[in-house]
Amino acid sequence: MFTHDLSFRFRLKCQALTEQAWFDFIILVFIASNCITLAMERPNIPPWSTERKILDICNNIFTVVFSIEMFMKVINLGEMQYKEDPDLITFNRPSQPDSSTENTLTSNRVGTSWMGPW
């Protein structure tokens, strides 16, 4: 696939961006914010209320951010390495979690978020 060519500029930009520590920090902030908004969900919020509209907007923002993160990592690593090679991202640092599990969770979250409106 053309995204695996090292001279491909977009892939190199994705690689440079996704390997930054601040990129992971920003994603973690979005994950924490997403957890907070999920905790605010309850079945008795009226569909016309401001709270419902804000929660829906936040959910859409999180879906877009997590989708961009996932696609940037897939372009950077390639589809197979994104799913299977935790050492490629963590560089054998024991302090980081297993990235293949993290990537699988991201893929599942993005997939179910995009299917949610239907």
Interval 65-113: pLDDT, tens: 988 888 888 777 765 555 555 544 444 444 444 556 666 667 777 777 7
Q: Write out the residue range of the structural domain in which residue 65 sits.
A: 20-115
- Asked if residue 9 belongs to a domain, the reply is no
- Asked if residue 86 belongs to a domain, the reply is yes
- Asked if residue 14 belongs to a domain, the reply is no
**Domain count of the fold of the chain:** 1
- Asked if residue 1 belongs to a domain, the reply is no
State how far the Cα of 101 lies from the Cα of 83, in Å rounded to an integer.
Answer: 8
Q: 51 CB contacts (<8 Å, ≥6 apart)? A: 40, 45
Nearest partner of 106 among 55, 65, 75, 57, judged by Cα: 65
Interval 20-77: pLDDT, tens: 889 889 989 999 999 999 999 998 999 999 999 999 999 999 989 988 888 888 777 7
- Asked if residue 36 belongs to a domain, the reply is yes
Instruction: State pTM to two decimals.
Output: 0.68
State how far the Cα of 70 lies from the Cα of 31, in Å rounded to an integer.
Answer: 13
| Chain center to CA of 37 | 16
| Sign for the pseudo-dihedral over CA of 72, 82, 112, 95 | negative
Structure-token pair, residue 18:
């996704």
